[in-house]
Amino acid sequence: MTLLRKSTPVLVVDRIEPVLPFWKKLGLAAVTEVPDEDAKDGRLAFVILAGEGVELMYQTLPSVMGDTVKSASVKDAFRTSPQQTTLYIEVSTLADIESKLGSERLIMPKRTTFYGATELGYTDPAGNIVIFSEHQAAPAGS
């Protein structure tokens, strides 16, 4: 029996709203939104995005820092600036990703890896790297 059940990345950003259209193009929807209590403009402090088998969380830096105070966390263990994250997401077909993200910033043109995956990479509007990977099905009988 494994002790681990699920892993969900939390991406720390300055603002959440700019990343929402990127993920909406790929079928993810906000299932939880937490407003920033200190913002007068309705900004979000935290969001959970989910879709078929994929879940991501985004949290603003002020929200993270506020959580460290509320929970008595070791504050110096947390960075005081947004962090760049790299996500690796396996997909059924890269053609669908390319058609949906055609207007987004492509940072890694399509390539084939030594292990046989075809990959390409974009950045989300917060500057995180998202690598999409298509794996060929194993031949029958292998």
The whole-angstrom separation of Cα 42 and Cα 33 is 11
pLDDT in tens, 93-127: 999 999 999 999 999 999 999 999 999 999 999 99
Calculate mean pLDDT across residues 28-32.
Answer: 97
d(CA 14, CA 59): 8
String of DSSP letters for 96-133? HHHHHSTTS-EEEEEEE-TTSEEEEEEE-TTS-EEEEE
Provide the whole-model pTM.
0.88
Average pLDDT in the chain: 92
Instruction: Name, in order, each residue with C-beta under 8 angstroms of 67's C-beta and a sequence gap of 6 or more.
Output: 73
Q: What is the pLDDT of residue 4?
A: 86
| pLDDT at position 18 | 97
Least confident of 8-17, 40-49, 71-80: 71-80
Band of residue 141 on the pLDDT scale cut at 50, 70, 90: low
Q: What is the Cα–Cα distance from 11 to 52, expressed in whole angstroms?
A: 19
Which pLDDT belongs to residue 135?
Answer: 92
The domain spans of the chain are: 10-135
CA distances from 6 to 23, 53, 125 (A): 20, 11, 26
Rounded to 5 degrees, φ, ψ at 55 are -140, 135
| Topology at the third CATH level for domain 10-135 | 2,3-Dihydroxybiphenyl 1,2-Dioxygenase; domain 1 (3.10.180)
